[in-house]
Amino acid sequence: MAHSVSVSCPSCGVAIEETTAHTRSMACPHCSNWVYVGSNGWEVAGLFEHAIDAPSMLQLGRRGELSDRRFVVAGRVRLSYDEGFWDEWWLEFEDGHHQWLEEDDGVYRLHKNVDADPKVESINGATVGGMVTVDAESWLVTERVDAQVAGVQGSLPVAIVPGESLVCVDVMGKGIKMSIESGDNDIQVSRSWVIRGAEIGWQ
């Protein structure tokens, strides 16, 4: 299980007990301010009202099961871009692991984070057909989407703030594909595969 970590809300000062070692941004359960790990430790982003409207079978706090592993939906990020939006749900599994589940127009992709170190300048300057540097190797860019954080809920493993811009890049090399999301405070690398919505069982 995740270890709990003591954090005092930088806005109201109350100790937040819901954090885990993975938490890097979350809604304070006491004052509702969105707080995140910035360059000076925990910082306040403010209060946000979000129109997170599209119906989804995924909901914050809902418990389910995927490949015989039980999880709870711990957080959510809504990302918007030119052509619409998608959601990334942060699933906390009972076995102590966490994974992102991406939901885009009824298509679900389960992500597994990869421990890799992309060069931030290279990602921010990525162009389709060009190369980026990850772990000192060159990867081919197959897609680039410039997105904005439109909404946040629950607790998240990335320090992310509503309104912030994210560069989302898909890269390919050595026969594998990876996704990279680069924001102001954090960068994440993952591999993903499509799952059917029907594979998720709900309690």
Residues of this chain that bind Zn ion (CB under 5 A): 9, 11-12, 28, 30-31
DSSP states of the chain: -PPB--EE-TTT-PEE-S-BTT-SEEE-TTT--EEEEETTEEEEEE-------S--S--TT-EEEETTEEEEEEEEEEEEETTEEEEEEEEEETTS-EEEEEEETTEEEEEEE----B-HHHHHT--TTSEEEETTEEEEEEEEEEEEEEEEEEEESS---TT-EEEEEEEEETTEEEEEEE-SS-EEEEEEEEE-GGGEEE-
State the minimum distance, in angstroms, from the CB of residue 164 to Zn ion. Answer: 20
Q: Which C-beta is closer to Zn ion: that of 12 or that of 140?
A: 12
Please, what is the minimum distance in Å from the beta carbon of residue 37 to Zn ion? 15
Looking at the Cβ atoms of 28 and 101, the one nearer to Zn ion is 28
Query: Which residue, 132 or 152, has its beta carbon nearer to Zn ion?
Result: 152
- Minimum Å gap between C-beta 33 and Zn ion is 5
Smallest separation (angstroms) from Zn ion to the CB of 46? 11
Q: Which is nearer to Zn ion, 32 or 59 (CB)?
A: 32
